[in-house]
């Protein structure tokens, strides 16, 4: 596979990162926190150029022209950008303020009075940065409806809380996915003493991050409950009585919590990759990934060309992981970013992180049977090159400090490592590492009804991908049970974040226009194809 092909695949994964959970972890060499972006968000630089003149006001907020452009991908979106100051701690309104970064995308024609709000995933992603990757899914909706984007506090331009070391960030191979530490531990079959030592390092790294970020933020006030109050402040400031909510992944938690607290200000809710309020983020990830991979690998077993040429992908994966735990090879490969030849030890960490991210997009996961067959024959270069490219380009899209504040406030006390997960790709280390970090991270107060499901008769459209490795369709079924005016659509053969797939954008637009999910004609979803597994490095065979 050429470097260009590898880059295209990872670019697709980078765009899909709009909706993936990246649990906090300890990264050797990246322990120090960088508070530069947070400081810039709270206090203006006196040497900075004067802000552009306001060209439009929406309610009380002034907006100026801007371009929303992601770090990865080629699509950009013209918008209007503004801001709103909100109290960091609402119990002390005279204290520190956070300026929320806001974007307004005016409707192409006459606009309805209730705008659409896209809520990004993570937790820890910027709505302004990630919207361009799925902007096409909103094209029909924008004909008669404005789009409102708000960077959740602690992300993007809203006092970003970054815990990445300034020198380490951006280097090839810097930053690891949540599955990497699990793989590292498996590679060494650690003793209890070494596990405790790793957990101690994780706690120390989190503590250093707390010390740095506490100079510019009170980390207790960056969780979902704070964010939904910010969103309602923005709603009131623009003069909108109701909002249409569209949440992706973690954004579905935000949407549900907002609708529970402010039902009178919600017109419709679309939730894609649903995380039920009952879900403890992190506890189920090892199991849901295993189920997703098994089902996606099953496509190869059903394809005579794939099975005959590449064998059993699951067996190949298990054999590879066992080899890497006992005798990890040193692999010489060409770096897809620099073009230079490099040598590196291939560990279970590389494979766990790669398989996990590929599972989010079945079109990318279709490459795994081929790559695993190559490894079964001693050819590890493609896997190593893909893993390093993935780490270098996808790993920095989550704001770690904000994610700690969300997870440690809302889930930390309920995290529980399941011994049955010990032999999965991700293992139990993700949970135990997060437990160690939350033990030292400041956390706020979670509302008493936080875990209760969203109820009532608000119009709700629930979207799931059949192969979603983190929020499977069963989660959507759970949420549906407590809603009186909702519908759950499962898009076959798809992974996490299905809004841009096939005819889903048109169904989404129709739902928002009518506020009636049950009347949707969804026969067009029958045309969504399964992704064919690759049987050669130039694609699948016809």
Predicted pLDDT at 174: 32
Q: What is the DSSP string of 216-249?
A: T--GGG-SHHHHHHHHHHHHHHHT-S-EEEEEET
Predicted pLDDT at 54: 80
Residue 85 — φ and ψ, nearest 5°? Answer: -85, 130
Q: Are strands 77-87 and 97-105 parallel, antiparallel or unpaired?
A: antiparallel
Predicted pLDDT at 192: 74
Band of residue 337 on the pLDDT scale cut at 50, 70, 90 = confident
Of 1-15, 275-289, 359-373, 393-407, which range is least confident? Answer: 1-15
**pLDDT tens digit sequence for 439-490:** 999 999 999 999 999 999 999 999 999 999 999 999 999 999 999 999 999 9
Other CB atoms within 10 A of residue 334 CB: 15
Alpha helices in 395-456 (DSSP H): 400-410, 429-438
pTM over 0.75: yes
% pLDDT > 90, the chain = 75
Give CA–CA dist 273/468, Å, rounded. 8
Band of residue 373 on the pLDDT scale cut at 50, 70, 90 = very high
Q: How far is CA 425 from CA 185, 351, 470, in A?
A: 11, 8, 14
């Amino acid at each position: 596979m050429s470097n260009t092909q590898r880059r295209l695949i990872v670019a697709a994964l980078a765009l899909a990162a709009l909706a993936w959970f990246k649990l906090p972890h300890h990264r050797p060499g990246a322990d120090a926190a960088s508070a530069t972006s947070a400081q810039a968000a709270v206090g203006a630089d006196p040497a900075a150029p004067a802000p552009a003149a306001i060209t439009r006001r929406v309610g009380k907020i002034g907006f100026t022209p801007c371009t929303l452009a992601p770090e990865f991908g080629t699509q950009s979106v013209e918008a209007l950008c503004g801001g709103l100051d909100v109290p960091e701690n609402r119990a002390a309104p005279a204290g520190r303020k956070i300026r929320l970064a806001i974007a307004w995308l005016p409707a192409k024609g006459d606009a309805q009075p209730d705008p659409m709000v896209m809520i990004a995933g993570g937790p820890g992603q910027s709505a302004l940065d990630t919207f361009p990757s799925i902007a096409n899914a909103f094209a029909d909706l924008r004909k008669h409806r404005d789009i409102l984007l708000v960077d959740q506090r602690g992300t993007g331009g809203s006092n970003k809380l970054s815990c990445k070391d300034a020198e380490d960030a951006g280097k090839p191979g810097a930053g690891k996915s949540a599955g990497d530490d699990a793989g590292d531990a498996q590679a060494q079959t650690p003793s209890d003493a070494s596990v405790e030592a790793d957990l101690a390092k994780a706690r120390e790294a989190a503590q250093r991050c707390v010390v740095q970020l506490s100079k510019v933020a009170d980390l207790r006030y960056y969780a979902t409950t704070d964010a939904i109050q910010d969103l309602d402040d923005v709603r009131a400031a623009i003069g909108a009585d109701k909002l249409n909510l569209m949440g992706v992944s973690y954004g579905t938690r935000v949407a549900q919590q907002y609708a529970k607290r402010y039902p009178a200000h919600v017109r419709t809710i679309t939730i894609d990759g649903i995380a039920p309020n009952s879900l403890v983020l992190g506890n189920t990830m090892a199991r849901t990934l295993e189920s997703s991979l098994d089902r996606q690998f099953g496509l190869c077993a059903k394809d005579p060309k794939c099975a005959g040429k590449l064998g059993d992908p699951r067996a190949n994966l298990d054999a590879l992981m066992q080899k890497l735990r006992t005798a990890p090879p040193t692999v010489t490969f060409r770096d897809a970013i620099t073009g230079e030849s490099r040598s590196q030890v291939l560990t279970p960490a590389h494979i766990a992180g790669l398989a996990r991210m590929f599972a989010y997009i079945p079109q990318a996961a279709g490459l795994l049977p081929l790559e695993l067959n190559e490894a079964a024959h001693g050819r590890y270069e493609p896997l190593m090159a893909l893993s390093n490219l993935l780490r270098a380009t996808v790993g920095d899209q989550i704001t770690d400090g904000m994610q700690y504040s969300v997870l440690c406030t809302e889930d930390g006390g309920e995290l529980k490592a399941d011994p049955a997960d010990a032999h999965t790709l991700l293992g139990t280390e993700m949970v135990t590492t997060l437990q160690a970090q939350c033990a030292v991270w400041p956390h706020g107060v979670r509302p008493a009804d936080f875990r209760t499901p969203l109820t009532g008769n608000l119009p709700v459209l629930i979207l799931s991908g059949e192969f979603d490795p983190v929020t499977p369709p069963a989660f959507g079924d759970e949420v549906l049970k407590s809603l009186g005016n909702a519908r759950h659509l499962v898009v076959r053969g798809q992974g996490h974040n299905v809004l841009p797939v096939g005819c889903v954008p048109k169904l989404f637009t129709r739902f928002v226009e009518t506020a009636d999910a049950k009347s949707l004609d969804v026969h067009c979803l029958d045309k969504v194809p399964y992704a064919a597994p690759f049987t050669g490095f130039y694609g699948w065979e016809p």
